[in-house]
Amino acid sequence: MAIGAGGAAAVARWRRRRERPSAVPAKATEASAQRTGPQVSREAGAYRVGEVLLFMGEEYWLAGELALVREGTPALTLFVAPERAQDRWLAAPRQGDVLYALVTDAPLADLGWPGVEVPSAGGTMRRVEEGACTIVPSGEVPEGWSGAGRYAVFRAMETVAVVVEQGSNRLALKGKTVPRRMVERMG
């Protein structure tokens, strides 16, 4: 499948060059597209870097984001909310009326890439979503998160886990679901 996609991309480039009068503008356009990265389309009302959200008396300052993009739209958007003890993360899935309030989980990271289940306190979480994605960072996020990667989401009732991997980087998070209607925007 990857060979077919590479071949299709090569044919598309060849056709564009053939239709353009000069190869120099084509190279400039391609270089410009590589610098800006993929464009992420957002739905109305989506959360943004720099906003402050309030949930159950706790403030979440969205300092940076990792948009996990599939087919041009974010399948899952992870926002980092820095805290003194450890970074908290807030994840916004593409669909649904919940957010995920998450923290890093070292034992989950030590498992490697998870299969269809991951252990949870007193039970097991099952995978509900996984796939390849393009990771598009913005704001203040850990360095090295950009480009092709993969992710998986696991759930058991209110408990949720998210694992993102890109090259040698692995982000393993666990937490709880939060109803979107209970989250307020500050200011």
Confidence grade of residue 76 (pLDDT, cut at 50, 70, 90): very high
How large is the average pLDDT for residues 104-125?
87
- Using 50, 70 and 90 to split pLDDT, how confident is the model at 91? very high
What is the rounded CA–CA span in Å between residue 68 and residue 74? 5
Banded model confidence at residue 86, pLDDT cuts 50, 70, 90? confident
Q: How far apart are CA 53 and CA 183, in angstroms?
A: 6
Residue 6 pLDDT > 70, yes or no?
no
- Predicted confidence (pLDDT) at residue 132 exceeds the cutoff of 90: yes
CA dihedral 166, 168, 174, 179 (to 10 degrees): -20
Among candidate residues 136, 162, 159, the one with its CA nearest the CA of residue 147: 136
Confidence at residue 130, expressed as pLDDT on a 0 to 100 scale = 93
Q: Poorest-confidence range of 11-15, 30-34, 52-56, 59-63?
A: 30-34
Confidence of residue 3 (pLDDT cuts 50, 70, 90): very low
pLDDT of residue 155: 93
Q: Are strands 169-179 and 159-166 parallel, antiparallel or unpaired?
A: antiparallel
> Is residue 89 pLDDT above 60, yes or no?
yes
- pLDDT for 187 equals 65
| Residue 121: predicted pLDDT | 79
What is the C-alpha to C-alpha distance for residues 91 and 63, in angstroms, rounded to an integer?
13
When pLDDT is cut at 50, 70 and 90, the band that residue 126 belongs to is very high
Chain centre to alpha carbon of residue 145: 10
Residue 33: per-residue pLDDT:
38
Q: Where in the chain are the domains?
A: 2-36, 52-185
pTM exceeds 0.75: no
Arithmetic mean of pLDDT over the chain: 78
pLDDT in tens, 151-174: 999 999 899 999 999 988 999 999
